[in-house]
C-alpha cells in the first residue's frame, strides 16, 4: 500500500535520510519512531509528495508519487496546524472537505468532530481554541473524506487521555475496514498499539518489527527500554 524504496534526502549539504526502505501493507497501523531530528517529518513529507527526495521512489497503491489522482486517497496531518484561525471549527472543516467530499458531507463532518471531541465546540472560532483542540481539528480534517491511507505526524501529542483513547479506538475501527495508517510518535504507549514499527536514527532505519518481536528480541517488558537500547539519544 505504501512503498518507500531507497529514499535519500539532503537539505543543503546535510544528509537527513539515507537509503530508507519501508513497505506498509493495507490495513496496517505503522509507527515511525526515532529521536528528535532523526528525519521522521522529512520522510512523512516525502510520502505525501510534498517533498521530492534526492534519490529513491515512493509508491502509494502501486503508483508513483507525487500523483494528483492519489491526493484524495490519503489524509495528511502535518506537525504544524494549517487552520484558518478567524473561522469556526465547522467552517474550517467545511472548507477542507469541499475539495474531496460531495456525498454525505455533513454527516462525515459531524462524525469526525464527534470522534475528536469537538462537536460541541464546532461554532467556536479556531483562534479561541487550545493547542490540543487545534490538533484535534487538524486530525478531523485529515480523516473527514474517509481516505484509504492516513499519514499522521504526531497526531495525539498533547492530547488528554480520554480524547486519545477515542482517537485510537477510531484508528482500530479504520484498520478493520482496511485503512492503512502511518503515524509518527514519541509515545511508547502509542507505539505499543501499532502493528509494526520502524526506528529511524540519523536518517537511517536501524530496526523494524512488531512491538512484541522487539520486546522479545531485546529481552525487555517495555518499548521504552527498546528505544533506549537503540539509542534514544544521538551518539
Ligand X SMILES: Nc1ncnc2c1ncn2[C@@H]1O[C@H](COP(=O)(O)OP(=O)(O)OP(=O)(O)O)[C@@H](O)[C@H]1O
Question: Rule CB under 6 A: which residues touch ligand X?
Answer: 11, 16, 34, 36-42
C-alpha cell belonging to residue 94 = 467545511
What's the min distance (Å) between Cβ of 104 and ligand X? 35
Residue closer to ligand X by CB (options 42, 97) is: 42
What's the min distance (Å) between Cβ of 203 and ligand X? 7
C-alpha cell belonging to residue 43 = 520522510
In angstroms, the CA 62 to CA 5 distance is: 12
What's the min distance (Å) between Cβ of 191 and ligand X? 13
Strand residue runs (E) in 103-228:
149-153, 180-184, 196-201, 204-209
Residue 25 C-alpha from the chain's centroid: 15
Residue closer to ligand X by CB (options 119, 202) is: 202
Residue closer to ligand X by CB (options 37, 56) is: 37
Asked if residue 46 lies in contact with residue 52, where contact means CB atoms within 8 angstroms, the answer is yes
Across the beta sheet with 14-24, the strand order is 14-24, 2-11, 55-60, 63-64
Quickly count helices (H) and strands (E) in the chain: 8, 10
Residue closer to ligand X by CB (options 135, 145) is: 135
What's the min distance (Å) between Cβ of 155 and ligand X? 13
What's the min distance (Å) between Cβ of 198 and ligand X? 12
Residue closer to ligand X by CB (options 40, 135) is: 40
Amino acid at each position: 500500500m505504501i512503498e518507500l524504496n531507497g529514499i535519500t534526502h539532503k537539505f543543503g549539504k546535510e544528509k537527513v535520510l539515507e537509503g530508507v526502505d519501508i513497505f506498509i501493507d493495507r490495513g496496517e497501523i505503522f509507527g515511525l519512531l526515532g529521536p528528535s531530528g532523526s528525519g521522521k517529518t522529512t520522510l512523512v513529507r516525502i510520502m505525501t509528495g510534498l517533498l521530492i527526495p534526492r534519490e529513491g521512489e515512493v509508491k502509494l497503491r502501486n503508483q508513483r508519487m507525487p500523483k494528483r489522482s492519489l491526493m484524495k486517497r490519503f489524509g495528511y496531518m502535518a506537525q504544524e496546524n494549517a487552520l484558518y484561525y478567524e473561522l469556526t471549527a465547522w467552517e474550517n472543516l467545511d472548507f477542507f472537505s469541499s475539495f474531496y467530499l460531495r456525498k454525505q458531507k455533513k454527516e462525515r463532518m459531524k462524525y469526525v468532530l464527534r470522534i475528536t471531541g469537538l462537536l460541541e465546540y464546532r461554532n467556536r472560532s479556531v483562534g479561541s481554541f487550545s493547542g490540543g483542540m487545534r490538533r484535534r481539528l487538524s486530525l478531523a480534517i485529515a480523516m473527514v473524506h474517509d481516505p484509504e491511507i492516513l499519514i499522521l505526524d504526531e497526531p495525539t501529542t498533547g492530547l488528554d487521555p480520554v480524547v486519545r483513547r477515542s482517537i485510537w479506538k477510531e484508528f482500530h475501527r479504520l484498520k478493520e475496514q482496511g485503512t492503512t495508517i502511518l503515524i509518527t510518535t514519541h509515545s511508547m504507549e502509542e507505539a505499543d498499539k501499532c502493528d509494526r514499527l520502524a526506528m529511524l536514527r540519523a536518517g537511517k532505519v536501524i530496526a523494524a518489527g512488531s512491538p512484541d518481536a522487539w520486546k522479545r528480541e531485546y529481552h525487555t517488558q517495555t518499548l521504552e527500554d527498546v528505544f533506549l537500547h537503540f539509542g534514544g539519544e544521538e551518539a
